[in-house]
Amino acid sequence: MVIAGCVLLCASCACGRGKSGGADSDSVCHRESGEEVVSSPDLAFKELSGPVKSAVLEFFSLDNPDEISADSVSYDDEGRVRGLVSYYRSGRDRTLASDFRFDYTSEGEMLPAPDRVTGGNLEARIGRDGLGRIVDFVCELSEDPENGDEGAYREEYSWDEYDRLKSYELTGWEWTARTTYSYDAQGRRSKAVTVSSDIGFESTDTQTYSYKAFDSHGNWTEREVKVVSEQDEDGVKSRHTSVRIERRRIHYR
């Protein structure tokens, strides 16, 4: 399942500490007029840095390389998210899964964004902490959120002391998934463990990352992910190992 994560209400350039590894020095982003943004909570949320205009992440399993999932993110001049799009490609067919386009008030506050795929029935709202980091992303019925909807979901995030994602919890209609992240000495994501549950189904996926390529800005452009999945479906247990390839096309200003 591919669900777009988002980011909101960015206090222009509230970059936080931006540390990787055990370094003591803080890096704070100050933006002067005409100066390019190289770091922001929205960029860090997608493991990006530099004057990024947009990025497209495509990923597929080596077991089925023709089935490709993709997440696309675009940023404004302040390093704030403007668009989040998810889609699937199967052969020549392309299916749009979600399409959020965010606008900001004159005070810099992000407005709720209707999902343009569902005709505006679902609306995305995002919450942040005092450092401008995303802590929750809620997608629900825009007119009657209390009524609920099978397509509605909620994402909650926590961050570590180095302003990296520590955990991610996704809750849907009758299912939930929680992921915890680990990082290497260079501050790159090295491992993720996802525990999922649904009616009559539970699974634990352990994902190990291996980096293959980087661009001139130091952003990774290709990595390989080994996934060990242990499942229990109605008491029947199974174990499966697969390899996922993740590739990014990053466009800079």
Measured CA to CA, the distance from residue 231 to residue 54 in angstroms comes to 36
Q: Give dist(CA 166, CA 159) in Å, integer.
A: 5
Please write the tens of the pLDDT for every residue from 92-129: 899 999 999 999 999 888 999 999 996 668 899 988 89
Residues in the chain: 253
Q: What's the pLDDT at 14?
A: 29
pLDDT at 89: 94
Q: pTM of this prediction?
A: 0.81
Question: Could you say which residues of the chain have pLDDT below 50?
Answer: 1-30, 33
Report pLDDT for 108. 86
Q: State the pLDDT at residue 120.
A: 61
Query: What's the pLDDT at 20?
Result: 39
- Give the closest residue to 250 by CA, choosing from 19, 20, 61, 47: 47
Burial of 28 (0-12, 13-18, 19+ CB in 10 A): exposed
State the pLDDT at residue 4: 35
Which whole-number Å values give the CA distances from 77 to 107, 250, 253, in the listed order?
15, 15, 9
